[in-house]
Structure 1
Amino acid sequence: MTERLPPLPHAAYAWHYETAPRWADSDIYGHVNNVTYLSYFDTAMNIALVEHGALDLSASASAPIGLVVQNGAQFFREITFPASLSVGVRIEAIGRTSLTWGFGLFDLGAGACAARGRIVHVYVDRASRRPTPLTAELRHCAEALFRDPANDTEETS
């Protein structure tokens, strides 16, 4: 993420996952460690995939898997323990073999976007690890979660 992204409102995201920081997520400075934000994004993304029928976690699964080829976050406000959080999830771009995921981390107590993140997944064959076209399930999930970044309006606080 090279450009500076503004905080977005809760409604900019198609799907939401509620979570809370653990005591162990806090660093020596008393706030949730930056790397933990990426963990929140990754967890929300995978739960969204499961709930939309696009990720089979069984041992016999044969569908493509998503490999992270890029990720990052921009921070707007600190989060401290305890807190109630919501991770907003959306798809920002749909490629032939890839999805660009967008995230907003919201501190529900403060009612504000604390961070934005992005993960780019390239979907590959499980055995060969070569890129493969999105399955019908992945495309359906992507279309359900898609929000065009061109339509973004900044959060007003």
Structure 2
Amino acid sequence: MTTVTEPAAAPSVSYGATVHIPVHFDDLDAMGMLHNSRYAVLVERAVSLWWAERGVSFSGGRPTTPDAFNVVREYGITFHRPVLGTGDITIHFWLDTIGTTSAAYGFRVISTDATTVFAEGRRVNVRLNPATMRPEPWTDHARGLAATILRPEA
């Protein structure tokens, strides 16, 4: 079993981005492990923080840019090892693709020293028009930001 490590510098990755996220006591299940439902929350927080640092977020309940109005269409995760206890973990995420209205992320939940992979998965977001709630194309601004975390072709 692997325990959460203390805060460290973000691990070096060759693509995507990394964000340290704290695991709190109320994120744990009765066995002292990160509850399976909390992985999605921690990934959401990491991705949201990354975009917010680049001006794509919400303020006063309203999107700061049109691209902030998007929803998760698909989410899948595979668990490899339990996260035990509280402390920081790292979310490594990237974009596999960005289409006209959707973006497919890959992610890994890893130790802060990047030596342990706790879980990995995929999520797909779709940008929506707030008036119609129908898919709408990403702006050039979002595409430019997304290009910085696109995974290179294999």
TM-score by length of 1: 0.80
CA contact (8 A) 1:38 1:117 kept: no
Distance (Å, rounded) in 2 between the aligned partners of 1:103 and 1:57: 23
**1:127 aligned onto 2:131:** yes
**1:71 aligned onto 2:75:** yes
**1:44 aligned onto 2:75:** no
What does residue 94 of structure 1 align with? 98
Higher normalized strand content (fraction of residues)? 2
Question: How high is the sequence identity, in percent, across the aligned residues?
Answer: 25
In the TM superposition, what are the counterparts of 1:1-157 in structure 2 within 5 Å? 11=13, 13-53=15-55, 55-59=56-60, 61=63, 63-64=66-67, 65-108=69-112, 111-148=115-152, 151=154
Task: Give CA-to-partner distance per residue, 1:87-113, whole Å, 9 cap, x none.
Answer: 112111110111011111112368211
Structure 1 stretches (4+) deviating beyond 4 angstroms?
none
> Any gaps of 5 or more consecutive residues in structure 1?
1-8, 152-157
| Distance 1:108-1:29 versus aligned 2 partners, 3 A rule | same
Question: Alpha carbon RMSD of aligned pairs, Å?
Answer: 2.1
Aligned AA for 2:131? A
CA contact (8 A) 1:72 1:118 kept: yes
Aligned AA for 1:137? H
CA contact (8 A) 1:13 1:104 kept: no
Deviation at 1:52, TM superposition (A): 2.7
| Distance 1:49-1:35 versus aligned 2 partners, 3 A rule | same
> Any gaps of 5 or more consecutive residues in structure 2?
1-10
| Distance 1:58-1:84 versus aligned 2 partners, 3 A rule | closer
CA contact (8 A) 1:101 1:119 kept: yes
Deviation at 1:47, TM superposition (A): 1.0
| Distance 1:31-1:13 versus aligned 2 partners, 3 A rule | farther
Task: Give CA-to-partner distance per residue, 1:119-146, whole Å, 9 cap, x none.
Answer: 1011011111111111112101210110
Deviation at 1:10, TM superposition (A): 6.2
